[in-house]
Amino acid sequence: MRITEIFHSIQGESSHAGRPCVFVRLTGCNLRCRWCDSAYTFTGGEKIEIEQIVEKVKSYGCNLVEITGGEPLAQPEAFTLIERLCNDGFEVLIETSGSIDITPVDPRAKIILDIKCPGSGEVEKNRWSNIEHLRAHDEIKFVISDRADYDWGRGIIAQHRLDRWTILISPVWGEMEMKPLAEWMLADRLPARFQTQLHKHIWGADVHGV
């Protein structure tokens, strides 16, 4: 597999925010979101065998692991890695755009499905059929850049009855202010969890490997 980095940090997003976590960041992505904060993963990386990846993960002594990217499911070997980590007793999170079929993902892993809003420039890449393959422990994320994104996301939540899962609403870092977004959610009684990128508050927005 082609890997950009493996590191131990604080989980910055999702309902698991604040927990120590090992991140396996895969190289490559089939999307080009306008506000992407991990474009450095699009190319390069290092070819590493799955067994070596697992041993590196184990070396940190942390049970929570996130497979991320880029788009981790763009590499077919990712499904094997996820299964292997689950077999070894790890709690596995998958951060995916949802543009790729999630049905091959081991059901023990927890998917964080990032539905792309219009402001991302990649709204047409959303694979809507993935929604009905989500399990109770999975989560859905919307990254919001402006009021138009928020209104679109609110409509999608209602249309697809997404309140069956944990919904995460996240402002685009450095672009969407937190206060108005929080106030819109409160005014609408939106059935969602507001989140910010905790790791960026701790280490800064442009630091890799954290």
**Residue ranges per structural domain of the chain:** 2-203
- The class of domain 2-203 in CATH terms is alpha beta
Q: What is the pLDDT of residues 56-89, one digit of tens each?
A: 999 999 999 999 999 999 999 999 999 999 999 9
Phi and psi at 51, nearest 5°, equal -60, -40
Tokens 């790729």 belong to which residue?
100
Average per-residue pLDDT for the chain? 95
Q: What is the pLDDT of residue 209?
A: 74
User: How confident is the model over 126-141, as pLDDT tens digits?
Assistant: 999 999 999 999 999 9
Closest by Cα among 149, 107, 35 to 157: 149
Q: Which residues have CB under 8 Å from 163's CB, separation 6+? A: 157, 191
Model pLDDT, residue 202? 86
Which of 143, 145, 119, 114 is closest to 131 using CA atoms? 114
Which of the four pLDDT bands, split at 50, 70 and 90, describes residue 151? very high
pLDDT score of 210 more than 80: no
pTM for the complete prediction?
0.94
